[in-house]
Amino acid sequence: MIRIFIDSDACPVKDEVYRVAGRYGLHVFVVSNRMMVVPDSPLVERVVVDAGPDVADDWIAERVSARDIVITADIPLAARCVEKGAYVLDPKGKLFDADTIGMALAMRNLMTDLRSAGVITSGASGFSKTDRSRFLSALDTIVVKAQKPRPRNLAQ
């Protein structure tokens, strides 16, 4: 069964995920290092991990499997999940997959290096209604895609 994992500490689209998951009957793990309010639903499970760098990311990466869906803006976590065959969306609806994750990691690393060298970089743009709509559309598309059986490799 397909599951959805939310890297939830700064995720602005949790309510949208709950709505889509409810429509398709998918289990959602809301992973955070602090207590968060989640809907009272058998489909939604709150997971509170210890505080510390990457603890929530590690929890998700250790449990995610192929065809699961991960919602995160964390590029290194996205890379770990893509490697395991998961579908990964950022909160603005951008899909990270095998074709795009390398460039996303390279850009993240470049920007980190520039900032550490003292270069002033522009921050991320604000979250808009258009972003929310794009995310909802992308999540719905990914859920439908994830539910379809993957073609078997005929060479096996």
pLDDT above 70 for 90 = yes
Q: Average model confidence (pLDDT) for the chain?
A: 87
pLDDT above 90 for 45 = yes
- Nearest Cα to 4, choosing from 52, 65, 69, 58? 69
Q: What is the pLDDT, as a whole number, of residue 97?
A: 87
Q: What is the pLDDT, as a whole number, of residue 148?
A: 85
Do the beta carbons of residue 142 and residue 87 sit within 8 Å? yes
Q: What is the pLDDT, as a whole number, of residue 60?
A: 97
Q: Domains in the chain, ordered, with CATH?
A: 3-147 (3.40.50)
Q: What is residue 6's three-state secondary structure? A: strand
User: Three-class SS string for 10-26?
Assistant: CCCCHHHHHHHHHHHCC
pLDDT above 70 for 22 = yes
Q: What is the pLDDT, as a whole number, of residue 120?
A: 72
Question: What are the residues whose beta carbons fall under 8 Å from the beta carbon of 52, sequence distance 6 or more?
Answer: 33
Do the beta carbons of residue 88 and residue 81 sit within 8 Å? yes
